Structure 1
């Protein structure tokens, strides 16, 4: 019995679970077993980093499915802007490896890390979350671009893959798909399907501080508009209103503390002068 428990414990170690994920990728012929530089590292429950050499190629679920792949994000023309909104800057080192830094650790004049600044550990939860936040803002920027006509006055069709990405990053709002439908960028079937997804995400969106960071938080008027148009049922609407009230209360409390700290700082400075 003790031996069985030990075997189970060994199978559940981070290293053993990471090996299982790698075995899945080999079975699916995503990578070859001989490619020893293709390694998998446990990050947290349900999240594994896929390394190609010394670089993270992406993050995976335990079943081998992709959470987020970094190359498409890094190659986006809006990547630097999205990284800035998320509070990060990626710097290419002399060895060709990219390191991620907090934006406050970057010298504004040189664009290089300040002395003593350390990059994020690529096997840390923080590094994973940094990429998720960058993906969030990249999706947000992409949505705003697609809601407008191009230089030739054309609204481009939103692909199913793109909509699924927006689902996963939880950036898509009901007002966005209203715009897409109005401009014939999605059809009614995709609208209805996407609406259900957003309805399941809207409570989380209300408390997501990433919207607040760019001054685009969900408002009472926005929720009321959705409800009056029939996009939210009474149950979801009432839960959303309650959640937003709680969020607004916490936000006001934070702002009061910030103002109090500012006044205290001003007072201390006057004493020094």
Structure 2
């Protein structure tokens, strides 16, 4: 019995493949359309896509075009070809602004851009594009049932940009060779805190500002040492107000003790 079922399954697959191959070679666009829909509904998006691609130009301006274009766009999304799905869904929303599918298409277009966002260590062009697309959707469809998901995606993408900005700023300190590198770290951390006032990196940003100013003070020429020492103490006080991480507090306290010692020596000299 099991053997018969296996044979039947093989024959069914072969028949299906034969039907698909015949449709691909056929000149009848309705045959391609009907089989494409059948394959689409069965979740065979790759095959459906190949058939739809052959007939899309033939259906422009026809009643079936709207349905075809939505399914065609969605096959790319389901195949994880997000570059093309984003582009095709954008085209759909522009061409069929009154469609009952336009909100879903706009959401899937925005989500396609979200799916293209790379890891934080890479260039973030696609991340900015995704945030823009998601925000446009949120503004246009404030009552959508996809709103919570969109907000969650925007939050995740913003967190990625925050981390990218923080890592770049931190890198100025880690790879510093001259004073200007530490100054770049301080300025970049300030920009991070200004652009993302609620950032999760606030404590770390203030710590690396302190660390940069501390290194400037301890390696400074005499005429700049007093001013940089005062700034280091100022940065320490700002850090201590919000500090939570024991390892950062311990490191900051050691820097502060050394800054106070430098200040005392400066006071004696003056």
Indicate the structure (1 or 2) with the bigger Cα radius of gyration: 2
TM-score normalized with structure 2 length: 0.36
Pick the structure with more helix per residue: 2
Pick the structure with more strand per residue: 1
TM-score normalized with structure 1 length: 0.36
